[in-house]
Amino acid sequence: MRKTLVIVGNGMAAARLCAELVAQAPHGYDIMVLGAEPDSAYNRVLLSSVLAGEIDEGALCLHPQDFYAAHHIKVQTSAKVVALDAEGHNITLEDGRTMAFDKLVLATGSQPLMPPLPGMGLQGVMAFRDLADTRRLQALATRAAEVMVIGGGLLGLEAAAGLVRRGARVRLLHLMDRLMERQLDRAGAAHLRRAMERRGIVVELGASTSGILGENRVEGVALADGRSFAAEAVVWAIGIKPEIAVARNAGLEIGRGIKVDDQMRTSHGDIYALGECAEHRAQVYGLVEPAYAQAVALASHLCGGDTSYEGSVLATHLKIAGVGIFSCGDVQGAPGTNSAVLEDAASGIYRKVVTDGDRLLGAVLVGDTDDAGFYRDLVVQGTPIGAFGADLVFGPQFFSAASQVAA
């Protein structure tokens, strides 16, 4: 008799796990996928493209319906899990139903950070996290609304760019002194800011929001320095937090996320976690690539294989408002490292490499990111760079030619 595997969550991590399970052991488990959202599994990475009108919602689908039918995977949408009895091997859904499992995977993702400030309950305060959020933002933009986006990280920039492209008037507030401060150094962030401003987005740095103004709906935003700005809507995009409530209430070991080992196993032997809700070796990842690597390892374990997940090198490669951005490894340059920069302000191109002895530790590309794969491979694989060091900033063509001369 086949065992029952229940996957709580129907996002990108869960979809990849289903694909890996089918590939590695197509008849290994009776699989049930439970998603809290009403929509089938979709690509969250492309939500900004939907918001900007570059693609339609149909392009988001991760698996066609016949994929699940062909592999006897049952999927339930609008099925939120509210309780887990780890020892009893069953879960409870919001509608009161219970469901037993032999193995359970928590792929519950994360929730947007929404600070407890005055006015947060006003109509017009929202996040940019899922497909429902995207649809609400599209409606705002089509009537040329004045929108305040709070947060200068990836999600905030994508929301701002998409809204402007759809016709909204956007001001972006960011608490820090530069955009995408986790991925970019100061010079790279300055290039990005100029690119955003050229597209009509007003950028306010060092802006600490103290409250949302209005009676019943949003009328503006107040800052801690006494300034205020009018707005019809406020979009919060200041970060995410792992969705761990069900796991915590069930007594699983929790840190910032649900703690897992190299097989993605939690403190309970029959329960696993992966994606944004999981904490592996004290690290919680908010990116798709680590979640996919975790899904490969978990599927291997569930199917009797020996693949382990040993962590991921953080890398970002994307395009915001037409501006290519790549960031990998140590982009700031820790003490004792060496940095080299290649910059062309006129064309909006910026490159930086960080080296230490015989290794490339990190790289930043803004504008032209065609060489992103070259730099990522050097960082991730720890490829020896010999005496070339700072010359790596010129790209793979120089590195290849110089290597041949040295040989």
The verdict on residue 310 lying in a domain is no
Is there a contact between 338 and 319 (Cβ–Cβ < 8 Å)?
A: no
Number of domains into which the chain is organized: 3
Mean pLDDT of the chain: 92
The answer to whether position 309 is within a domain reads no
Backbone angles phi, psi at 71, to 5 degrees: -110, 15
The residues with which 341 forms a beta bridge, in sequence order, are: 352
Cα atoms in the Cβ-side hemisphere of radius 13 Å centred on 352: 24
96: number of Cβ within 10 Å: 7
Q: What token pair was written down for 46?
A: 């492309």
CB count, 10 Å around CB of 163? 27
Tokens in use for 393? 């900033």
Q: Kindly tell me if the per-residue pLDDT of 402 is higher than 60.
A: no
pLDDT at 404 over 50: no
Q: Give yes or no: residues 288 and 390 share one domain.
A: no
- What is the pLDDT at residue 141? 84
Site of tokens 């909006």: 348
Note whether 129 and 70 are same-domain residues.
Answer: no
pLDDT tens for 13-57 read 999 999 999 998 767 799 999 999 999 999 999 999 999 999 999
| Tens-digit pLDDT profile for residues 127-176 | 999 999 999 999 888 777 899 999 999 999 999 999 999 899 999 999 99
Distance CA 210, CA 217 (A): 17
Note whether 257 and 249 are within 8 A (CB): no
Confidence of residue 398 (pLDDT cuts 50, 70, 90): low
User: Comparing 197 with 389, which gets the higher pLDDT?
Assistant: 197
Longest dimension (CA), the chain: 72
Rounded CA-CA distance 385/11 in Å is 39
DSSP lists the bridge partners of residue 360 as: 355
Return the percentage of the chain with pLDDT > 90, whole number. Answer: 73
131 is a domain residue: yes
**Would residue 203 count as lying in a domain?**
yes
pTM over 0.85: yes
Tens-digit pLDDT profile for residues 164-222? 998 999 999 999 999 999 889 898 999 899 989 999 999 999 999 999 999 999 999 99
pLDDT value at residue 387: 67
Query: Do 131 and 216 belong to one domain?
Result: yes
| 3-state SS, residue 325 | strand
Determine contact, residues 323/367, Cβ cutoff 8 Å: yes
Selection from 75, 8, 321 nearest residue 194 by Cα: 321
CATH number of the domain to which 402 belongs: 3.30.390.30
- The CATH number assigned to the domain holding 162 equals 3.50.50.60
Of 312 and 10, the structure prediction assigns the larger pLDDT to 10
Residue 164 and residue 172 in contact, taking contact as beta carbons nearer than 8 Å:
no
Q: Is the pLDDT of residue 272 over 60?
A: yes
- pLDDT at residue 405 above 50? no
- pLDDT score at 227: 96
pLDDT (average), residues 362-377: 92
Measured between alpha carbons, how far is 5 from 248 in angstroms, rounded to an integer? 20
If you average pLDDT over residues 112-135, what whole number do you get? 95
pLDDT of residue 282: 95
Q: Which domain holds residue 207?
A: 125-236
How is 213-253 classified by DSSP, letter by letter? E-SSB--EEEETTS-EEE-SEEEE-S-EEE--HHHHHTT--
Tell whether 263 and 328 lie within a shared domain.
no
**One domain for residues 63 and 135:** no
Cα distances (angstroms) measured from residue 374 to each of 293, 318, 326, 386: 20, 15, 11, 16
